[in-house]
Structure 1
């Protein structure tokens, strides 16, 4: 099931061409709707693969994004400022959300958690916005901020030690995107390409034995190498701190 070195780098080139990795100075017009949950937070079954973390990250102010923003999973973890355009009902700042899922409604780019949708409104005006169901909005990409947290790689729940390893990046700050992940194969003296299996999840059949060196590519350019990041006895659900944070 492995990829050839050629297909690995071809994959990175495709991701690079599809990436839009920058904070925006100007807002883009769009539409937004919302989905409900008993706690007004996100869903633990989102297309990005964050599982339960995806429902509570950013205080539950999360969103599903359209195909053009999801970009095959490359847009997972991106942060946006979204504000509606119906004064006097709309707050000036709107909401700041993290993309954790893929979904589209009535020509919408955002399906906001109830908590995030509520932040679009001025105090006492939320009920009016909820009655609309879909509202005109404007949005821009902004840096993600996780004070006190480094970027970590979590061993995804689908992993099966020692033959199948799936990883997902958590607390990914800034506006940079992870466009490739590779593991060092000591016996072959080469880097092996992990596959973006879905959303923000990267996987590999028959991962290297022993402590694993990992490197990841940032926005299709530089590589960041991490020695022995994944221990030889890695466990499902465990998180491994990279001691770095993206810009």
Structure 2
């Protein structure tokens, strides 16, 4: 049985803020791996090109992976195009890259090229932008990819709606109680509890305090390397 999600006072900052944006890759979709967030092939996982890498000031050591942002180009009439884009944070733009634009304390978005050219001229290279957090709209249920070994379970959680950024993940085997997992890196979470041979349930909590319980997501015969989809999202 599924538990209803519980809403706690929203922690999302939906105000507009100033930043800058650059782009990476090419229009063909190269460089679409999830990198520092732990995501794999962004097309297979449903993120596609509607993605961005975040500077350290926004990345928050990976805690912001999965968050969604609305971004518009501003204050550069020769470079900006009208309208805005919505992207999901899937990677880190490290310091001393992109000409230093991602150095702390700068707030910066390194967009896929396909997204950048929707709001700015390609030739601009870097533009001033306004951004705000928005609710992530994802198709289907929250997904979980399980890797590791019999004594170490590593779970990637992705395709998360709502706030998008998972701040707490719990797992429960059919023979255990709820186990709080530890963030390994990005949106990969770990536990050393032996869970093989048990069906697995998950409780996902995002940064705004909303949570959802997904029971029996993985059957008892699950194997490492497999991914499973819950039948609900935030």
TM-score (norm 2): 0.79
1:74-223 matches, within 5 Å, as 74-85=63-74, 86-104=76-94, 105-106=100-101, 107-121=106-120, 126-129=121-124, 133-147=125-139, 149-155=140-146, 159-175=147-163, 177-184=165-172, 190-209=177-196, 210-219=198-207, 221=209, 223=211
In structure 2, do the counterparts of structure 1 residues 127 and 216 end up closer, same or farther at CA, with 3 Å as the change threshold?
A: closer
Hey, what's the Cα distance between the residues in 2 that align with 1:224 and 1:115? 33
Shift in Å, 1:140? 0.9
Higher RCO (C-alpha under 8 Å, 6+ residues apart):
2
Residues 150-171 of structure 1 deviation map (CA, whole Å, 9 limit, x = unaligned) = 212222xxx2343332112221
Residues 108-155 of structure 1 deviation map (CA, whole Å, 9 limit, x = unaligned) = 51111111111112xxxx2432xxx221111111111124x1212222
Which runs of no fewer than 5 residues in structure 2 stay unpaired? 1-9, 95-99
Residues 22-51 of structure 1 deviation map (CA, whole Å, 9 limit, x = unaligned) = 261x42111111122472454315100001
Hey, what's the Cα distance between the residues in 2 that align with 1:136 and 1:191? 45
Which runs of no fewer than 5 residues in structure 1 stay unpaired? 1-19
Query: Which of the pair is proportionally richer in strand?
Result: 2
Q: List, as ranges, runs of 4+ consecutive aligned residues in structure 1 with deviation greater than 6 Å.
A: none
Query: Which of the pair is proportionally richer in helix?
Result: 1
1:30-69 matches, within 5 Å, as 30-37=19-26, 39-53=28-42, 57-69=46-58
Preserved CA contact (<8 Å) 2:21 2:129: yes
Preserved CA contact (<8 Å) 1:42 1:63: no
Give the alignment's Cα RMSD to 1 decimal: 2.6
* 1:244 equivalenced with 2:225 (yes/no): no
TM-score (norm 1): 0.75
Aligned residues: 214
